């Protein structure tokens, strides 16, 4: 493996572009750097690689708050193996809770807060001069038993000034077609109550959302197309803003650049956006240059739920956006949270009715989760002030005003956890099928075969939605009619519903596997899946 100045260790189920931007920036500054994907290697193997490399600095990327104990164990193992390098960590949780991070992981020497390129470079340059660390903006470290937070570092104004992120030599492929993640911006203008993005950037001076130029983005796509064979691009932006005049001009310029580079006819891509970013005229222009899927953060089918989530739009706005997507034939996926700290059974019934309307024609996979109060989110601060925040760092949680909702949450975990969250569960399998259809329709199948395949996927999705919501409705009705003691007394009824749901999921999964096999595609994980740090789970 050889020796390196810096090792960067992080989760890389898909390319960790945060780490890869850091690696490219350090390499441009003359620092030798290596990325180690911690999700693909055992702790012992990681330890061997670090020992072989003799790095001066090891940086850890904590994407998911729930993984902090795993990183604590890994770092403890590295220290036990005699590794003396400086250990630092970055990510949302370390940025918003630097003292907690350092307390939880004694083997860490520092935390890089917010954007890390310049801070990490300066830290590397001053590793041997701890007395100078107070002058490194965006850093947290221990000094005489106390945690020191240095002055926040201003945000990078010109994202085009950054080198393009390092890439793997071989990209993920599907049906022989290269698939790449890409980001066109950093940050978000909005302040949803369940999201820590605003807190992540709160102390740093500068615009909370910055975009690369359309030309810079298109030229990276061309490079990935030419050198790595990428034809499918997954935009990982927190929000691809399209509702303001400035941002609509940006999207028009991106479309023009893709045409200029002669990519438009030979690529497909996916974006994530808010409901109020959905405008048919803009999306049609982007469909002309390859846009084939939109992920929208619906989150709730009740106005009360949307208010709790601080979304600043209504259920009517959600339905308008869905109608616009359907009117232009734009495939879409969505995020949805069934339960939140303000939930009542009346609200849950409203959410279920909305999902029934949404899922009735089978063009999107119905799934749902619970809002989790992650560190740095407005909802976590509110619950803490109300004395309702519990569960600890790894699994923050809360209680409901109606304790019967805790039993509904337990039921949802038993009935839907595998379906909604497991890579081999029905939701991800259906998403994978839709992704496969997108790629196959563009690059391999005849129009007639693609139409038949699409019809089969849609029929199975509709059946899955109907069965899931039938099970959920029956559970909600049962628990809304009974007292808590009565629910527990009749829990065998709930368990029968769980078994029926599991059997239905098995049958539909078998049917889906047969359908996909008939179009010559095996098992796999969908590149359309949500890998966001904000992905929640009913647990």
Question: For residues 110 and 106, what is the distance between their CA atoms, to the nearest angstrom?
Answer: 10
**Displacement of CA 471 from its chain's centroid (Å):** 27
Four-point Cα dihedral 532, 534, 537, 539, nearest 10: 130
Closest CA to 195 of 334, 317, 96: 96
Phi, psi of 57 (to 5 degrees): -140, 140
The model's pLDDT over 343-372, given as tens digits with 9 standing for 90+, comes to: 999 999 999 999 999 999 999 999 999 999
- Specify the DSSP class assigned to residue 153: P
Question: Are 475 and 494 a contacting pair, CB within 8 Å?
Answer: yes
In whole angstroms, how far apart are CA 247 and each of 37, 259, 274, 325? Answer: 35, 19, 13, 19
Question: For residues 384 and 392, what is the distance between their CA atoms, to the nearest angstrom?
Answer: 12
Chain position carrying tokens 């009619």: 481
**Displacement of CA 197 from its chain's centroid (Å):** 12
The model's pLDDT over 271-291, given as tens digits with 9 standing for 90+, comes to: 999 999 999 999 999 999 999
From the CA atom positions of the chain, what is the Rg in Å? Answer: 24
**pLDDT value for 77:** 96
**pLDDT value for 527:** 58
Question: Are 91 and 23 a contacting pair, CB within 8 Å?
Answer: no
Q: Collapsing DSSP states into helix, strand and coil, what is residue 76?
A: helix
pTM of the model: 0.94
Per-residue confidence band for 80, with pLDDT thresholds at 50, 70 and 90: very high
Structure token digits, residue 208: 């909370």
Mean pLDDT (the chain) is: 94
For a pLDDT cut of 90, what percent of the chain falls above it?
A: 91
Mean pLDDT of 207-231: 96
Q: Is the dihedral of CA 180, 183, 189, 191 positive or negative?
A: positive
In whole angstroms, how far apart are CA 487 and each of 283, 479, 484? Answer: 47, 6, 5
Q: Collapsing DSSP states into helix, strand and coil, what is residue 231?
A: strand
Instruction: Inform me whether the pLDDT recorded for 463 exceeds 50.
Output: yes
Which domains, ranges and CATH numbers included, belong to the chain? 6-149 (3.40.50.280), 167-330 (3.20.20.70), 359-368+400-539 (no CATH)
H helical segments located in 309-403: 315-327, 345-359, 378-386
Question: For residues 142 and 149, what is the distance between their CA atoms, to the nearest angstrom?
Answer: 9
Q: Collapsing DSSP states into helix, strand and coil, what is residue 444?
A: coil
Packing angle between helix 404-421 and helix 345-359, nearest 10 degrees? 30
Mean pLDDT of 114-134: 97
Question: For residues 190 and 209, what is the distance between their CA atoms, to the nearest angstrom?
Answer: 9
Per-residue confidence band for 520, with pLDDT thresholds at 50, 70 and 90: confident
- Residue 281: how many other CB atoms lie within 10 Å: 9
Pairing of strands 6-10, 57-61: parallel
Four-point Cα dihedral 462, 464, 469, 472, nearest 10: 180
The model's pLDDT over 287-342, given as tens digits with 9 standing for 90+, comes to: 999 999 999 999 999 999 999 999 999 999 999 999 999 999 999 999 999 999 99
Question: For residues 301 and 315, what is the distance between their CA atoms, to the nearest angstrom?
Answer: 6
Instruction: Inform me whether the pLDDT recorded for 535 exceeds 50.
Output: no
Helix (H) or strand (E) holding 124: helix 117-125
Per-residue confidence band for 532, with pLDDT thresholds at 50, 70 and 90: very low
Per-residue confidence band for 526, with pLDDT thresholds at 50, 70 and 90: low
Q: Is the dihedral of CA 373, 376, 378, 380 positive or negative?
A: positive
For a pLDDT cut of 70, what percent of the chain falls above it?
A: 96
Question: Are 53 and 7 a contacting pair, CB within 8 Å?
Answer: yes
The model's pLDDT over 184-203, given as tens digits with 9 standing for 90+, comes to: 999 999 999 999 999 999 88
Question: For residues 274 and 269, what is the distance between their CA atoms, to the nearest angstrom?
Answer: 17
Mean pLDDT of 76-105: 97
**Cβ-based neighbours of 189, under 8 Å, separated by 6 or more:** 208, 209, 239, 241
Pairing of strands 332-339, 369-370: parallel
Structure token digits, residue 79: 């220290």
The model's pLDDT over 34-47, given as tens digits with 9 standing for 90+, comes to: 999 998 899 999 99
**pLDDT value for 244:** 83
Question: For residues 498 and 475, what is the distance between their CA atoms, to the nearest angstrom?
Answer: 10
Chain position carrying tokens 């509709």: 462
Mean pLDDT of 443-450: 95
Beta strands in 93-198 (DSSP E): 110-112, 139-143, 146-149, 172-174, 177-182, 185-187
Closest CA to 422 of 495, 467, 458, 430: 430
Instruction: Inform me whether the pLDDT recorded for 531 exceeds 80.
Output: no
Question: For residues 89 and 109, what is the distance between their CA atoms, to the nearest angstrom?
Answer: 9
Per-residue confidence band for 14, with pLDDT thresholds at 50, 70 and 90: confident
The model's pLDDT over 155-182, given as tens digits with 9 standing for 90+, comes to: 999 999 999 999 988 889 999 999 999 9
Closest CA to 239 of 195, 265, 274: 274
């Amino acid at each position: 493996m050889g020796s390196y100045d810096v090792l960067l260790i992080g989760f890389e189920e898909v390319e960790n572009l945060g780490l890869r931007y850091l690696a490219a920036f350090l390499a441009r500054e003359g620092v030798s750097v290596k990325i180690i994907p911690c999700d693909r290697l055992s702790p012992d193997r990681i330890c061997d690689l670090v020992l072989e490399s003799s790095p001066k600095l090891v940086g850890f990327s904590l994407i998911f708050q729930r993984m902090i104990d795993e990183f604590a164990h890994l770092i403890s193992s590295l220290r036990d193996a005699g590794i003396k390098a400086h250990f630092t960590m970055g990510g949302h949780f370390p940025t918003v809770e630097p003292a907690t991070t350092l307390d939880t992981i004694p083997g860490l020497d520092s935390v890089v807060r917010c954007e890390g390129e310049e801070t990490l470079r300066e830290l590397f340059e001053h590793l041997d001069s701890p007395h100078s660390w107070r002058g490194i903006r965006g850093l947290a470290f221990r000094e005489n038993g106390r945690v020191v937070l240095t002055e926040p570092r201003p945000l990078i104004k010109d994202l085009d000034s950054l080198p393009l992120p390092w890439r793997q030599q071989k990209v993920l492929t599907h049906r022989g077609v290269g698939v790449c993640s890409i980001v066109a911006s950093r940050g978000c203008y909005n302040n949803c109550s369940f999201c820590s993005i605003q807190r992540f950037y709160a102390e740093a001076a500068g615009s909370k959302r910055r975009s690369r130029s359309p030309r810079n983005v298109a030229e990276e796509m061309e490079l990935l197309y030419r050198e790595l064979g990428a034809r499918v691009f997954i935009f990982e932006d927190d929000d691809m803003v399209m509702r303001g005049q400035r941002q609509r001009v940006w999207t028009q310029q991106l479309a023009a650049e893709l045409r200029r580079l002669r990519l438009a006819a030979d690529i497909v891509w996916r974006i994530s956006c808010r409901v109020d970013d959905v405008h048919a005229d803009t999306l049609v222009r982007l469909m002309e240059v390859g846009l084939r899927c939109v992920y929208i953060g619906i989150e709730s089918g009740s106005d009360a739920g949307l208010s709790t989530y601080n979304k600043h739009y209504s259920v009517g706005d959600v339905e308008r956006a869905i109608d616009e997507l359907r009117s232009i034939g734009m495939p879409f996926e969505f995020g949805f949270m069934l339960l939140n700290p303000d939930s009542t059974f009346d609200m849950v019934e409203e959410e279920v009715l909305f999902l029934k309307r949404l899922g009735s024609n089978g063009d999107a996979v119905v799934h749902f989760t619970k809002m989790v109060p992650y560190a740095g989110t407005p909802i976590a601060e509110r619950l803490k002030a109300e004395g309702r925040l519990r569960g600890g760092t790894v699994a923050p949680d809360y209680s409901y005003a109606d304790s019967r909702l805790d039993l509904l949450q337990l039921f949802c975990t038993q009935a839907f956890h595998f379906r909604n969250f497991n890579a081999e569960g029905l939701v991800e399998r259906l998403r994978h099928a839709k992704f496969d259809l997108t790629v196959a329709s563009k690059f391999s199948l005849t129009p007639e075969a693609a139409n038949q395949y699409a019809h089969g996927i849609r029929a199975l999705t509709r059946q899955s939605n109907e069965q899931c919501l039938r099970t959920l409705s029956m559970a909600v009705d049962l628990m809304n009619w009974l007292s808590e003691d009565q629910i527990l007394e009749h829990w065998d009824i709930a368990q029968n519903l769980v078994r029926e749901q599991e059997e239905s999921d098995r049958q539909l999964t078998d049917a889906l596997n047969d359908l996909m096999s008939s179009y010559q595609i095996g098992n796999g994980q969908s590149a359309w899946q949500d890998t966001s740090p904000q992905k929640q789970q009913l647990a």
